[in-house]
Each structure stands twice: as C-alpha cells, then as structure tokens.
Structure 1
C-alpha cells in the first residue's frame, strides 16, 4: 500500500478533500456542498454537524 496524505479544506460553500501520494501526485479529489443559513441580513450560520457529515 502506498503512503498518502489527506488534505481537507472546510470552506463556506463546500468541504474539499485531496489525496496525495509521497511523490506529490494527486491520487483522488472529492467535494461536498454545504448549506449556508442567513437568518437575518448580515448574518451567516453553518452547522458543525454539516461540516462533519460533508467530511466523512
């Protein structure tokens, strides 16, 4: 089995993942969209549970 590194970017619109091998070659990528709640003007909220679900 190859040694690899996983990178995860949790942003406001999506969670993105990247799998890179020891030589720097991208093995796989993935992304999952996130919901952004705007209950009032100027407010923005996200659920940490949504971040977790999008990551796993």
Structure 2
C-alpha cells in the first residue's frame, strides 16, 4: 500500500494505492486561511497535521482491511 498526501491551500487530500498502483480510496479534510491584515494569508501548521490525521482516519474507516 502507498499513501499519497497533497497539502493544498484549501484542503489536505489523501490517495491510497495498492501495490499495483490501483486507487483503493481517497479522503480529504478542509483547511482555512487567516487574513489578519489586508493582502495577508496565513495558515497554522498545526492545522495541516490535524487535517491530515482526520483524512487518514477517514481512510481507515472506509478501508479497514487496507
């Protein structure tokens, strides 16, 4: 099994592949942006970890044998 993780601006997306490269499942968790000043965009790195953990949990629930 292989796990692909795409950390984007609005979402963390996960892709679970089997040994032959076939898609077993996908999951995602939304991220938010903070704009404390005009033209500023920030994210808290702790939110990246939280969102990744949430998406991994979704995959585990949906594909417990994988």
Q: Give your verdict on TM over 0.5.
A: yes
Which residue number corresponds to residue 5 of structure 1? 2
Which residue number corresponds to residue 63 of structure 2? none
Aligned-partner Cα distance in 1 for 2:8–2:35: 16
Match of 1:23 among 20, 25, 30: 20
When the two chains are superposed, the root-mean-square deviation of aligned CA atoms in Å is: 0.6
TM-score (norm 2): 0.77
More strand by share: 1
- Kindly tell me the number of residue pairs found equivalent between the two proteins: 53
Match of 1:46 among 30, 34, 43: 43
Unaligned stretches of 5+ in structure 1? none
Question: Which aligned runs of 4 or more in structure 1 are off by greater than 4 angstroms?
Answer: none
TM-score (norm 1): 0.90
